[in-house]
Amino acid sequence: MNITKNHIMKKLPIGISKFAEIRASDKDYIYVDKTPHVVALAENGKYYFLSRPRRFGKSLLIDTIKQAFLGNKELFSGLYLEQHWNWGNCYPVLHFDFGDGVVQSRSELEIKIHQFLDGYYWQYQVESIYPDVSGRFSYLIKQIALKYGKLVILIDEYDKPILDNINNVNVASEISDGLKNFYSVIKSHDEHLQFAFLTGVSKFSKVSLFSGLNILEDLTIDAKVADICGYTQEELESAFGEHLRDGNVDKVKLKTWYNGYNFAGSDRQKVYNPFDILLFFNKKCEYRNYWFETATPTFLIKLIEERHAYVPNFENLVVSEDLLSSFEIETIPLVTLLFQTGYLTIKNKVMRGSRVSYMLGYPNLEVKFSLNECLAEIGVDREKRSAKQEQIYTALTNNKFEDLALILSTHFSSIPHAWYRKNNIAEYEGFYSSIVYSYLASLGYQLTPEDVTNQGQIDLTLIMEDKIIILEFKLAKYGSAAEAIEQIKTRNYAAKYLASGKPIYLLGISFDETIRNIAEIISEEFHP
């Protein structure tokens, strides 16, 4: 805790998702007021679903809604909701949080749900007469409504039991059926419910899990609530102003590292991950991968490998609105999962005729660097990847481009043969160029994949402080490294960067799929 003269700064609510604890008068925690959104949701609708990445403040939002409907006015002193809520009406709240623990079967899921229900049966003095999950849940709602009038249902991390088992489609599907059996009860009790709100990371298709909940309004990419979780730039500077000044924080650098999450397409609604911001200030303003390090996305890495994903395309993907909305357990679109889990975000909203589409990309440096570090480990261990990163950095810094051939060749040589047997992708140019891209991206360099010029597209442009490097990739059976260089020259790719005044280097890289390695790297300095 920092002390400036006689003033003690407000504390950082790290790891606290209970609204009452943050708002306790003796705690003096920072709280960014999101209650205008709570008021608007309660006034304008009844059933909602919100998808946000992990550690983005969903649980705190749920608990804030809970305390409002319970009528705990004292917790909202000085907040927007205090003066804009009907405190004369209070409602019982059934709050189910699936975020704790791991269930590995439908039977374990049902045990967990029964434990939730047991607690509410005891709290509201209801005698259980049904043995099954849906019967008990339905009867509980009816009995509470008879005693108190309408009630509120809040479900946090509704999809975690599925995501915990997503590598096993059969188990995940069984758990999905169990959740569907539970959630479908909500729709049949419209007359008993005042409000219902579900949160999660992913949105599974309405034809499966949500078939019984097609009444839910999906807020995931709704502009009205794009900043309902996370901190806007204005909120950051207002709530954390003292911490910013105390740490002499470079706001531009902070924004580059942790801002950029966008759930609507408007620049003004970009938000910071709150987990990053709180830990950043707690760790004396040290720039680190706080959010990413809490859970390495091994499942995503596996999918990227299996589906031959061309990683450089992650910077400028254009997808339809429906692709972002939902998916089936059995057929998960990689792009959808990357967006919903927070590794890609909306960069821009674009129109394709009358159809709404979105341009996606990495939200910030933390995600871009960290994800690509994981991708650079494909087929090798972390220690080898780290050593290669240092070697590549040294080679590029000293213009020793010929050294890249040896460095990258040893990397591809170290990938076990068994890995290729399981993944038939060696014949794809995208596999090789993706790994090269991931190494460069993990070093923090400014990269432009599929760099558009008036003569065509550069495969990859690397912009460093003292130079610009234009890279062209070829599979050996389609062209040599020399031919790659010639293509750069013939199409005058370098013209785009002449005004920079920096030296420009041309790099041609060819890959030989028969030896599963780099065939040749040729470099030369460009002279207009």
Q: What is the pLDDT of residues 243-271, one digit of tens each?
A: 999 999 999 999 999 999 999 877 778 99
* Joined tokens for residue 59: 């649980």
Q: Which residues, in sequence order, are CB contacts of 295 under 8 Å at separation 6+? A: 54
Tell me what pLDDT residue 452 has: 64
Please provide residue 76's backbone torsions phi and psi, each rounded to the nearest 5 degrees: -105, 15
Domain ranges of the chain: 32-220, 298-365, 376-525
Local confidence band at 4 (pLDDT 50, 70, 90 cut-offs): very low
Q: For 198-211, what is the mean pLDDT?
A: 68
User: Which one, of 207, 212, 210, 229, lies nearest residue 220 by Cα?
Assistant: 229
- How far is 155 from 96, CA to CA, in rounded Å? 5
Q: Could you read off the pLDDT of 334-343 as tens digits, one per residue?
A: 888 889 889 9
User: Are the C-beta atoms of residues 117 and 165 closer than 8 Å to each other?
Assistant: no
Q: Rounded distance, CA 44 to CA 222, Å?
A: 14
Please measure the distance between the N-terminal and C-terminal CA atoms of the chain and give it in whole angstroms: 57
Structure tokens that stand for 456 in this block: 């065509």
Q: What is the mean pLDDT of the segment spanning 120-149? A: 95
As a whole number, mean pLDDT of residues 360-386 equals 82
Of residues 75 and 509, more confidently modeled = 75
Cα separation, 520 vs 304, in Å, equals 26
- 183 membership: H or E segment, kind and range: helix 169-187
Residue 382 main-chain phi, psi, to 5 deg: -65, -40
pLDDT at 524 over 70: yes
| The pLDDT value given to residue 112 | 96
Segment 69-97 shows an average pLDDT of 97
Residue 422 reports pLDDT greater than 60? no
Q: Identify the pLDDT of residue 476.
A: 83
CATH assignment of 32-220?
A: 3.40.50
Cross-strand pairs, 218: 49
Asked if pLDDT for residue 438 goes beyond 70, the answer is yes
Instruction: Dump the DSSP string for 128-177.
Output: ----SHHHHHHHHHHHHHHHHS-EEEEEESTTHHHHTTTTSHHHHHHHHH
Q: Write down the pLDDT at residue 59.
A: 96
Q: Give the CA distances from residue 140 to residues 28, 48, 189, 394, in Å, rounded to whole numbers and listed in that order.
A: 38, 21, 11, 66
In this prediction, residue 113 has a pLDDT band, given cuts at 50, 70 and 90, of: very high
What would the mean pLDDT of 86-109 be, rounded to a whole number?
95
- The yes-or-no verdict on residue 208 having pLDDT over 70 is no
The vertex-309 CA angle with 303 and 310, nearest 5°, equals 155
Burial class (CB in 10 A: 0-12, 13-18, 19+), 354: exposed
- Measured CA to CA, the distance from residue 449 to residue 492 in angstroms comes to 17
466-469 CB contacts, 8 Å cutoff, 24+ apart: 466/502, 466/503, 467/399, 467/502, 467/503, 467/504, 467/505, 468/497, 468/500, 468/502, 468/503, 468/504, 468/505, 469/396, 469/504, 469/505, 469/506, 469/507
- Residue 138 tokens, joined: 């339905």
Averaged pLDDT for residues 148-176: 91
Q: Is residue 280 scored above 70 in pLDDT?
A: yes
Q: Using H for helix, E for strand and C for coil, what is the string for 261-325?
A: ECCCCCHHHCEECHHHHHHHHHCCCCCCCHHHHCCCCHHHHHHHHHCCCCHHHHHCEEEEHHHHH
Q: Is the pLDDT of residue 309 over 90?
A: no
When comparing pLDDT for 513 and 71, which is higher?
A: 71
| Mean confidence (pLDDT) of the chain | 87
The whole-number pLDDT of residue 1 equals 44
pLDDT tier at 429, thresholds 50, 70, 90: low
Q: Phi and psi (nearest 5°) for 94?
A: -100, 115
Question: Class of 376-525 per CATH?
Answer: alpha beta
Residue 507's pLDDT band, with cuts at 50, 70 and 90, is very high
pLDDT of residue 164: 87
Q: Are 518 and 510 in contact (CB under 8 A)?
A: yes
Can you give the pLDDT at residue 419?
Answer: 42
The predicted structure's pLDDT at residue 205:
58
Segment 367-387 shows an average pLDDT of 78
- What would the two tokens of residue 293 be? 């390090």
- Asked whether the beta carbons of 172 and 162 are under 8 A apart, the reply is yes
Cα 515 to chain centroid distance, Å, stands at 37
Distances from the Cα of 76 to the Cαs of 21, 30, 330, 392, in angstroms?
Answer: 12, 13, 44, 54
User: What is the pLDDT at residue 320?
Assistant: 83
* Sign, CA torsion 415/418/419/420: positive
Q: For strands 317-320 and 345-352, give the pairing.
A: unpaired
Q: Which of 433, 497, 499 is nearest to 469 (CA)?
A: 497
What pLDDT is stored for residue 231 in this prediction? 97
The tens digit of pLDDT for each residue in 451-499 reads 766 666 888 899 999 999 999 988 888 889 999 999 999 999 999 999 9
Q: Any idea which residue has 């967006």 for tokens?
A: 339
CA 308, CA 283: separation in Å to the nearest integer? 38
